[in-house]
Structure 1
Amino acid sequence: MWGSAPAGALGPLDITYGSDSDTREGAFKNGTFEATLPLKDDALYFHVMAQLQGSGDINCSVTVAGHTKKAHASGGYNICDAQVSSGLLGGWN
């Protein structure tokens, strides 16, 4: 995750990330947030989500096994949400 997101009246940028069975909370520092998780074979998806707190402009992305999904949010209390899902026949998309 990268961009500008000043703390608003409700506090700093609210970040959650993880998989379908493991959700974590992240901290946005110096205009970035980065995390690495172990790849679980039985995971249904991996995601990152952040909600702006009144202003800002952020980008977020998730990469699993070479497949990347990206998203963007700007202004207000908008949400940046990127997710890579496991395929029905294996693989990630």
Structure 2
Amino acid sequence: MIRKTLNASRLQQEVDRRIHRLHEIVEDGVKIRVPRPQLQAPDKTGCNWTMDHFGNAIGFERNVEEVLKAVRAEYNLSTEAKDAANPFGD
């Protein structure tokens, strides 16, 4: 399966969205802090990012891990750097 690519902010938002729609999370009213993804060398599956140190996730580690596994299978972190000299690209 070919992964779609997202920038760090969009990837963080996607993981956050999926975590906070889980029944257990909604039911308990927990707000889990989702860290920014960190670029890494592609692993054996081809995923080039990871996330560590979720805040307020005690007791929900399995749920977070399941979401992370699913998102890592679907998306890679964009490695394209923006041209700071010309933000308009013209």
Larger relative contact order, structure 1 or 2 (CA cutoff 8 Å, min sep 6) = 2
Provide TM-score, normalisation by structure 2.
0.26
The structure carrying a bigger strand percent of its residues is 1
Larger Rg: 2
Provide TM-score, normalisation by structure 1.
0.25
The structure carrying a bigger helix percent of its residues is 2
